[in-house]
Homo-oligomer: A and B are copies of this chain.
Amino acid sequence: MITDKFLKGRRGISPTLVERAAIEKAVSEIRQIPPRTILIEAGQPLRHSALIIDGLVCRTISDRDGLRQFVGLHLPGDFVDLHSYVLHHIEHDIASVTQARVAIVPHERIDLLIADTSLARKLWFSTVLDAAMHRAWLFRLGRLDAMGRVAHFLCETNARLKAVGLSDGRRFVLDLTQNDLAEICGVTSIHMNRIIRQLREEGLVTMRSSLVEIARPEHLAARGQFDGAYLYLDDDAGDPVRRT
């Protein structure tokens, strides 16, 4: 089902079956996206948003040399660019990382969806959740060293994937190159390679091809100073270190 994973496992805000049905009725089209394809370029006017069914989609801002900084990574179940519904255009690029399937929801149909104030609030929640994630990413880039950044990112991704049933809490498939990880963590891909080796040597994480295996989740969370409270998940699984 298309909306299976939308806000799944989010504390007190998961959509009801009726709401999910309403969203599915609003879908105009299912689109299959090849890997490494730009979906939306910065500045372009937008008439629809997209719900990810499977695959990875990223939001990036490029510097003047074309080097990218990931400002977000979207997993299955994420409503990508609801932001554009409010803003009409966005100031960053959206691109597929892997092959992906997305459900297209035209903005004029979202107008109808938000007539239901409960659903409107959930859609608003979804954008505010993105903002909370952005803040966690700011902490990651501003206060952590390279290894801490990777550790923090992997903990976050593990927790998010677990919420939608794509991680068992320690192992998950994540089809990112080392260069993608570098663009996420704001380091060079060469340095990312060194960090990944260190994580392996310290027995914290192994990453073989696209399988990530977190050997010691608590240690990794400590290394990345990860506190998953900002994900607003139902339970605290995948979030071994709590602030409170």
Contacts and interface: CB of A to CB of B under 8 A. Distances in A.
Interface in A152-194: 183, 185-186
B87 A125 contact: yes
A64 B61 CA distance: 29
Interface in A29-82: 42-43, 59, 61, 63-64, 67, 69-72
Given A243-B42, A244-B43, A127 B125 contact: no
A121 interface: yes
A86 B128 contact: yes
B134 A69 contact: no
Contact of A131 (B120, B130, B136, B244): B130
B86 A135 contact: no
Contact of A120 (B120, B134, B136): B120
Given A124-B124, A131-B134, 12 more contacts: A64-B225, A67-B143, A69-B138, A69-B139, A86-B128, A91-B136, A91-B227, A91-B229, A137-B138, A141-B141, A142-B185, A142-B186
19 contacts: A43-B229, A43-B244, A59-B135, A61-B136, A63-B143, A67-B143, A69-B142, A71-B138, A71-B142, A72-B135, A83-B132, A87-B128, A91-B229, A127-B128, A134-B134, A138-B138, A138-B141, A141-B186, A142-B186
